[in-house]
Amino acid sequence: MLAGNFMLTNVIAYLHTTLAYQSAVMQLMVGQANLDAQQLHLREPLPVVVPADTNTWKVAMPPDGVTGRLVTPHYVYQFVDGRQILIQIRIQPHGVAENQPSLIDTNQAWQLARQWLSALSVDVSALDEKYPHSVESLASRTRNRPNESPHRSDEPARNHGESTNNVIHRPPPAAGLPIFRVTWGGARIGPATSRATVQVAVDILGSTKQCLSLHVFNRELFTGPPLTVTNAAALLGPLPSPQQVVQDFLGGQAAYTAVANPDRVSAWLLSSSPDAPETKTIRSPVMVLNPATAPLLSQALTDFNSYAWLRDKGCTPDYGVGLRFSKGAENVDVHWCYNCDHLQVIYNGRSADKDCDAARPALVRVIQSVFPNDPVIRSLSLLNSNQPK
């Protein structure tokens, strides 16, 4: 029992964050982004500020340190464990004519890349000593579509701790632009390139000597201390209870109460067209669950252990069951994919989703009791054979 409680506490500690903590992390990242934009002479309006639109930034869970992503209209700045590992342009440089001659040659591109890396506190001497460098003049083939990034950035660490040090797979640069790619430890970056090969990669627009992309894969090359939130404990406060974590997932106190102690629970079956899998239609009558059956769903969906908090199978759910928990004027809708046991919760226009493998037996039993004659529902097993071993 003690071991189980210890594991539960660890999971909650990993999941726990606050807006105050996230804001502090973002302030650190913005400060570093401003400094580095100046050092690299990026064509970026300064100062960069913390954007109000949270869709343009993302902060990882506290155990991952200062990890996240800041997106401005011109650049993406990505941090892992207190280090800015990626600076990447989002759109084709404005005001740059095609077929404009390069102002630098391959040796000058290498020297410029070294200068930028040194400004970002990368140990360039150690880099040159340990890893051979290569400079590639990229052959332009196609122009990027409007507002399309010429490079694709990695996603920042997810809540379950995924690594962000994957190699970027870049599409061809814009037509007619002289671009140099400087790498240490490997000449090319592509699907077949392992992270252990390329240590650093820098793309430079030769006609303007502009940084298009700078990616440090090997964080051991940085000198000096990483960015840290020194008052993280105060900003985070005490750990929430398991019930609080579930409550936040469901949408707050009112949503949790509606699911835990509903006045009524309704269920229906969903189907989708092969041509439009995201468009759902109701393929059954909407059934109201009896008072003896509804509590089984409430117990399963408010149980902390029903959810996979630290992992995500990454599948595309095909929701086949719809549920509505109603209490007074509050309605919480739940969609369940019985193929992969992924659950989506919708409350007041807010949507959240998690895998819920441990809730499957209760969900199957209840839905089979409500729709006993449906052949698809009747064939469901309490153990999902599609789950990864």
Q: Which residue has the higher pLDDT, 197 or 211?
A: 211
Q: How much is the pLDDT for 315?
A: 87
Mean pLDDT, residues 153-178 = 43
CA atoms of 348 and 378, how far apart (whole Å): 32
Residue 113 lies in a domain: yes
Q: How much is the pLDDT for 174?
A: 47
Same domain flag for 181 and 138: yes
Same domain flag for 205 and 291: no
Same domain flag for 283 and 336: yes
Same domain flag for 269 and 321: yes
Q: Which residue has the higher pLDDT, 235 or 53?
A: 235
Residue 121 lies in a domain: yes
Same domain flag for 75 and 140: yes
Final residue belonging to a domain, choices 201, 233, 265: 233
**pLDDT tens-digit series, residues 51-70:** 767 567 889 999 999 999 99
Number of separate domains in the chain: 2
Final residue belonging to a domain, choices 203, 233, 263: 233
Question: What is the share, in percent, of the chain residues with pLDDT greater than 70?
Answer: 80
Same domain flag for 177 and 227: yes
pLDDT of 91 over the 80 cut? no
Q: How much is the pLDDT for 203?
A: 95
Mean pLDDT, residues 295-309 = 97
3-state secondary structure of 189: coil
Q: How much is the pLDDT for 6?
A: 44
Q: How much is the pLDDT for 96?
A: 62
Q: How much is the pLDDT for 141?
A: 40
Residue given tokens 């003690």 in the structure block: 2
pLDDT of 352 over the 70 cut? yes
Following DSSP, what letter does each residue of 256-319 receive, concatenated? HHHHHS-SEEEEEEEEEETTEEEEEEE-S--EEPPTTTHHHHHHHHT-GGGS-SS---------
Q: Are strands 83-89 and 133-138 parallel, antiparallel or unpaired?
A: unpaired
pLDDT of 99 over the 50 cut? yes
Best-predicted range by mean pLDDT (77-81, 135-139, 312-316): 77-81
The domain containing residue 41 runs over which residues?
17-233
Residue 385 lies in a domain: no
Q: How much is the pLDDT for 176?
A: 65
We report the CATH number of the domain holding residue 275 as 3.30.1490
Q: Which residue has the higher pLDDT, 94 or 223?
A: 223
Residue 6 lies in a domain: no
Same domain flag for 208 and 299: no
Range of lowest pLDDT (74-88, 134-148, 217-231): 134-148
Residue 1 lies in a domain: no
pLDDT of 239 over the 60 cut? yes
Handedness of CA 359, 364, 367, 369 (dihedral sign): negative
Final residue belonging to a domain, choices 184, 199, 233: 233
Q: How much is the pLDDT for 145?
A: 34
Same domain flag for 226 and 284: no
Average pLDDT score over the chain: 85
Residue 3 lies in a domain: no
Same domain flag for 359 and 327: yes
Residue 199 lies in a domain: yes
Same domain flag for 228 and 247: no
pLDDT of 140 over the 80 cut? no
Q: How much is the pLDDT for 54?
A: 59
Mean pLDDT, residues 106-129 = 96
Cβ proximity of 380 and 341 under 8 Å: no
Q: Which residue has the higher pLDDT, 134 or 168?
A: 134
Q: How much is the pLDDT for 55?
A: 60
CA atoms of 213 and 345, how far apart (whole Å): 38
CA atoms of 261 and 299, how far apart (whole Å): 9
Same domain flag for 227 and 246: no
pLDDT of 80 over the 80 cut? yes
Q: What is the H or E stretch that residue 112 is in?
A: helix 106-119
- Residue 324's pLDDT band, with cuts at 50, 70 and 90, is very high
Q: Which residue has the higher pLDDT, 282 or 99?
A: 282
CA atoms of 371 and 285, how far apart (whole Å): 10
Q: What are phi and psi of 5, to 5 degrees?
A: -65, -35
Residue 198 lies in a domain: yes
Same domain flag for 92 and 118: yes
